Amino acid sequence: MVIKIFLFLILLVPAYSQNNDKKQLDSLYDAFISRYNHKDDINISNETLEHIKCAFGIVNEIRRNLNNYPDEKKQLLKTLLERPAKQKSIVSPKGYFRIHYDLTGNEVPNYDASLSADENAMQVAIAADSAYNFEVNYLQYPPPPGDNGDGGDNLYDIYITTAEGSYGFTQPETSLGNQKYTSYMEIHYSFKNFYTEGLNAVRVTVAHEFHHAIQVGNYTSDKYDVDGFFYEMTSTSMEEFVYNSVNDYYAYMKSYFNNPNRVFNSFIAQTNDGYDLAVWNIFLKDKFGYDIIKKQWELLPNVRALTAIQSSLLDESSSLREALNEFGIWTFFTKNRAIPGKYFDEAANYPLIKLTTTSYVPGSAVSLNNLKAASNNFLAVVNTSVTPRDTLVAILTNSDYTSANDSSGKNYSFDYTLAPDSSDGSVMLTDSYFAKFDVDQPNIWSVSEVLNNQVVRQNGTIFRPISTGDEPLAYPNPFHYGLNQYVYIAVSDTKGESKADFNIYTPAMELVDSKTLDFNGDILTWEIGNLNKKLASGVYIYAVKIGDKTSIGKLVIFDD
């Protein structure tokens, strides 16, 4: 049996072009060979799981640079890149795949200890058929091209191996011209001690790698060196689309949520391997549907990935400037800030986005420098001079995808000012806050603000909580315990009063709470989180009495 070498992306040196110099080629070669020398008894710890996923990247780079090596190294690499030899193979139930595996030795498929090797291999076949059914039959991606009988026939080949400790990889093989290649797949034989183990790991791995096979067979394999993030981002999101309940992509999300201000299309080991950006494709799918992602792949052979994303968004009457900023809002409302039924379906399981926090100094600009192209920047301004304190989060989006494609080193800066009064160039967010955003090239920037976990401006549209009729407006509505502890009630006319009587009832008109509340502008604040007992989930009726006039409204409360 030929032993093959594939490397974790945690060890992946920066991606190279076909014109690598000798030092870069030697570094790539040494990294590749070192994995061979240390392939046995790989111990995968929880600390490194975030970076272990798919070895497609280094395999692709070795293959692309093969002819640049001297004959001795080239011959060794060619040997190591050959298909593995296995003791047995079976055809998947739907007839799409041939699964190759061993019945004896160290690589016997063992995902479920209660199943035999043949039965475990059949589970791989079933999972692969499901991935094919979703990605090809439902999403209408073209299937990978046939391999002219390699592996025994023209079915797509999956080999069960050590996969050198990664979940798996897709190996581009024979060039078909026009940047397209035949390929085959290898997946790990057990997934023991991986973030996702057993048959669930099988499912997400074949969904991930099968889309790599679609990518290199029908679109392009040759853009990986410059847009590797796009390949991995798509394949990782495909795991969620095909097997929604597994959620292996959770393991990689912190990398993005801790670094939203980096260049979006950077591809740097341990910083952005593309897996962490699966959430962007989930956003695109939820917002525009699945086809927008396929449209980007259709464009990719001729343009860079961010350019393809921009073009596909323009076709949806949107843009990277608008969509990336809205994506910032979606990524803000996660974990304890998640709102049921809004933004990401699984937002409560996502980490919190990293904020740059500063204190509110009225009229004093906050300056941020060294900002990157195609990035989101989250600035939290905390005002402790009011009770309860206010936290305004400004989401500032740079959409300069052209610079992001050309150079990730370009820096930007801006000044952001909050003040209680208007000034030249400021925008009124609420009665108490006017925002001013000073930046060069404003056409490539977009700004949204969230005040006390309520969106007050999104892409230029102001959402002020002002009642326009007799019914006072309560927000957030629905109120979600854990997201906020206050309910704010906006009224259209305070009638010159400084206080208002506030009462809230169950639908059976049982009194829940009664307060006299002070006005702050035209806003009343009810501290629901300070009640002795949480209110049960349901619809409540509130009444606001100002002077001799009483108005009523409804408030929905969720108790998790």
401-437 confidence digits (pLDDT tens) = 999 988 667 899 999 999 999 988 899 898 889 999 9
Question: How confident is the model over 375-401, as a mean pLDDT?
Answer: 95
Q: What's the number of domains the chain is made of?
A: 3
Work out whether the CA dihedral 490, 496, 498, 503 comes out positive or negative.
Answer: negative
Whether 135 shows a pLDDT value over 80: the answer reads yes
Work out whether the CA dihedral 490, 491, 495, 497 comes out positive or negative.
Answer: negative
How does pLDDT run across 186-242, given as a tens digit for each residue? 999 999 999 999 999 999 999 999 999 999 999 998 888 889 999 999 999 999 999
Host domain of residue 199? 9-223
Shared domain for 421 and 524, answered yes or no, is no
Question: How confident is the model over 101-111, as a mean pLDDT?
Answer: 97
Shared domain for 92 and 60, answered yes or no, is yes
Whether 17 shows a pLDDT value over 70: the answer reads no
Maximal CA-CA distance, the chain: 94
Tell me if 287 sits within 8 A of 245, measured CB to CB. no
Tell me if 542 sits within 8 A of 489, measured CB to CB. yes
- Final residue in a domain of this structure, among 462, 486, 502: 462
Model confidence at 388, pLDDT cuts 50, 70, 90, reads confident
Question: Does 537 or 312 have the greater pLDDT score?
Answer: 312
- Final residue in a domain of this structure, among 223, 253, 280: 223
The whole-angstrom separation of Cα 331 and Cα 279 is 9
Lowest mean pLDDT among 212-216, 224-228, 356-360, 476-480: 476-480
Model confidence at 47, pLDDT cuts 50, 70, 90, reads very low
Whether 98 shows a pLDDT value over 90: the answer reads yes
CATH number where 549 lies: 2.60.40.1930
Please indicate, yes or no, if residue 255 is contained in any of the structural domains: no
Please state whether the peptide bond connecting residue 388 to the residue before it is cis, i.e. omega within 30 degrees of 0. Answer: yes
Please indicate, yes or no, if residue 237 is contained in any of the structural domains: no
Model confidence at 465, pLDDT cuts 50, 70, 90, reads low
Please indicate, yes or no, if residue 173 is contained in any of the structural domains: yes
Q: Which amino acid is at 23?
A: K
Residue 34 confidence (pLDDT)? 61
Shared domain for 499 and 354, answered yes or no, is no
Model confidence at 13, pLDDT cuts 50, 70, 90, reads very low
Question: How confident is the model over 510-517, as a mean pLDDT?
Answer: 91
Question: How confident is the model over 119-148, as a mean pLDDT?
Answer: 98
Residue 548 confidence (pLDDT)? 82
Whether 125 shows a pLDDT value over 60: the answer reads yes
Please indicate, yes or no, if residue 433 is contained in any of the structural domains: yes
Shared domain for 427 and 520, answered yes or no, is no
Shared domain for 354 and 387, answered yes or no, is yes
Question: Does 264 or 482 have the greater pLDDT score?
Answer: 264
Please indicate, yes or no, if residue 131 is contained in any of the structural domains: yes
Tell me if 411 sits within 8 A of 440, measured CB to CB. no
Lowest mean pLDDT among 10-24, 34-48, 92-106: 34-48
Whether 14 shows a pLDDT value over 60: the answer reads no
Tokens of 345: 């379906």
Shared domain for 490 and 371, answered yes or no, is no
The whole-angstrom separation of Cα 59 and Cα 71 is 19
Shared domain for 528 and 396, answered yes or no, is no
Please indicate, yes or no, if residue 388 is contained in any of the structural domains: yes
Shared domain for 20 and 55, answered yes or no, is yes
Please indicate, yes or no, if residue 314 is contained in any of the structural domains: no
Model confidence at 128, pLDDT cuts 50, 70, 90, reads very high
What b/e string do you get for 121-138 counting C-beta neighbours within 10 Å, with b at 16 or more? bbbbbbbbbbbbebbbee
Mean pLDDT of the chain: 87
Whether 9 shows a pLDDT value over 50: the answer reads no
Residue 403 confidence (pLDDT)? 92
Shared domain for 82 and 163, answered yes or no, is yes
Question: How confident is the model over 24-28, as a mean pLDDT?
Answer: 82
Tokens of 346: 């699984």
Question: Does 152 or 13 have the greater pLDDT score?
Answer: 152
Residue 52 confidence (pLDDT)? 57
Residue 407 confidence (pLDDT)? 67
- Final residue in a domain of this structure, among 439, 462, 485: 462
Lowest mean pLDDT among 192-206, 334-348, 457-471: 457-471
Residue 41 confidence (pLDDT)? 40
- Give kind and range of the element (H or E) at residue 207: helix 198-218
Please indicate, yes or no, if residue 212 is contained in any of the structural domains: yes
Shared domain for 495 and 352, answered yes or no, is no
Shared domain for 484 and 387, answered yes or no, is no
Lowest mean pLDDT among 15-19, 34-38, 394-398, 433-437: 15-19
- 320-332 helix and 305-314 helix, angle to the nearest 10 degrees: 90
What b/e string do you get for 220-236 counting C-beta neighbours within 10 Å, with b at 16 or more? bbbbbbebbbbbbbbbb
Shared domain for 453 and 484, answered yes or no, is no
